[in-house]
Amino acid sequence: MKNKLQIIGALLVALSCFSLVSAQDATIRIIPSDDAPTISRHIYGHFAEHLGRCIYDGLYVGEKSNIPNTEGVRNDIINALKELKIPNLRWPGGCFADTYHWKDGVGPQSERPTIVNTWWGNVTEDNSFGTHNFLNLCEELGAEPYLAGNVGSGEVQELADWVQYVNFDGISPMSDWRKENGRDKPWGVKYWGVGNEAWGCGGNMRVEYYADIYRKYATFMSDAGLEGGLYKIASGASNDDYHWTEVLMRDIPHNLLQGVALHHYSVIDWNAKGPSVGFSEEQYFKTMEQAWLMEELVTKHVEIMDKYDPKGKVDLVVDEWGGWYDVMEDTNPGFLYQQNTMRDAMIAGMTLNIFHNHARRVKMANLAQVVNVLQAVILTEGEKMILTPTYHVMKMYNVHQDAQLIPIELATPDYAYNDEKLPAVNASASKDAEGKVHISLVNIDANKSNTISVDVSALKLKGFTAEILTSKTLEDHNTFESPEKIQPEKFKKFKLKKGILEVELPPFSVVVLEGN
């Protein structure tokens, strides 16, 4: 009898466990709305700072290089970025922006002065890559340039002259100088950052002081005949500095302000960031915790913006985001060179989903950074180039660019580590101009698959195709010896029946489904 009771007890425990597992399956309800916002393509922006090997020996190798190039910029990188459909590119910083004097980077290269990059490694740069190089690159890419102005060590006239140099089509000292330097027609630069991280490397300012400085600089930045005018972006908050956003929205007239920035990196501990390869599950979990924090930060900063701007005329611009770890061994600590693993794919997928779901206010964002720095989409070594897992996620996701958001309701199981828990599943959906529906799903759980049931009955779709990005281990990454270890593959572990789409998501995976 005792043995029978033990067997029954064991069966009950097993059934209970099975019940719990079943209860943990995620569910998504699709809620189409004609009033839903458009997911701006500018959410998919990138960032190229004069930092480490991002510009020199990254994007720019010079016209005399044996590496195939266009005006000194690597052709393989140009082609890769075109495939990503990058909508905008931010330059020259970052912290570097507030020490950069743009006039040093125009005119004959032999006459340009050198500069010491005091922020990043104290290396000497020759200013061979300047305004013309950058803006011509953006034209080649079909991307909008986003120029970060020097407010920290620069002067109002310097920034006003830069605006006139790149934008004014009439007769003026700056437009005449541009023509002397080989460019007849202006580029028409719309996006301008008025300083960077004014609370830190941009001047260690109090927000009340910076708000007045911003008003002054923005006043003298002429639209210069640019159709639609300039789009001016204030140096915004770091992480949860909600007071910073409050003061900017309260004290800057909104006719001078089109965007407010926000910076947030997925960093475990600024004093002990951990390795980019060889990390533990604990370090992975804490990184995911910081990535998920973006949801809370955007929500709370938007609440403040809504308070002062209920009509939503000022945008939230998350112009620095991504994972930040210790530099790779035997590399310059000031160059911020790190590897890019499946952990970074998780950060990219979930962050972009968060931006999509806040598309009413988040109109622009810039991944840090484009080549060889932090969460780069591209890494180079001499003539070799590799595409990272982050690159592949952003390419899979670019189907959402300028599509209409489809609001969703998501119930997700937890990803548990020790006594801590995070939502395991993250998602967003959109409908493009051709009527195709795209659903992006991320499972951050390091160990467990999660089945997701998506009620798509309201969309009346005939069928789906899908791609997946995953690998055997979280630490997997592409190398110069094995450049295609991680890349998207066709995905078939889903079924559509009576309006319910059931998807089985493997651990640490990103899936994009297309329905029509």
Catalytic residue list: 197, 320
3-state helix, strand, coil in the chain (%, to 5): 30, 25, 40
Find how far residue 341's CA is from the centre of its chain. Answer: 16
Q: Which residues pair with 514 in a beta bridge?
A: 438, 465
Are 59 and 376 a contacting pair, CB within 8 Å? no
Are 300 and 86 a contacting pair, CB within 8 Å? no
Are 367 and 349 a contacting pair, CB within 8 Å? no
Count Cβ atoms within 10 A of the Cβ of residue 107 and give its class: 0-12 exposed, 13-18 middle, 19 or more buried.
middle
**CA max distance for the chain:** 101
d(CA 374, CA 204): 23
Are 339 and 373 a contacting pair, CB within 8 Å? no
- Cα-based distances in Å from 26 to 23, 33, 422, 496: 8, 22, 13, 16
Tokens of 140: 């080649």
Q: Which residues pair with 115 in a beta bridge?
A: 125
> Which residue is listed with tokens 């990803």?
415
Torsion angle defined by CA atoms of residues 301, 304, 308 and 310, in that order, rounded to the nearest 10 degrees: 80
Report the sign of the C-alpha dihedral through residues 187, 88, 151, 313, in that order. positive
Q: How do 414-417 and 489-490 pair as beta strands?
A: unpaired
Are 467 and 396 a contacting pair, CB within 8 Å? yes
Q: How do 315-323 and 362-368 pair as beta strands?
A: parallel
Q: How do 315-323 and 259-266 pair as beta strands?
A: parallel
d(CA 352, CA 393): 9
d(CA 11, CA 242): 53
Among left, alpha and beta (phi > 0; psi -120 to 50; other), residue 441 is beta
Measured at the alpha carbon of residue 494, what is the angle toward residues 492 and 499, in degrees to the nearest 5?
Answer: 140
Are 385 and 379 a contacting pair, CB within 8 Å? yes
> Which residue is listed with tokens 């390869």?
277
Are 151 and 195 a contacting pair, CB within 8 Å? yes
d(CA 101, CA 190): 19
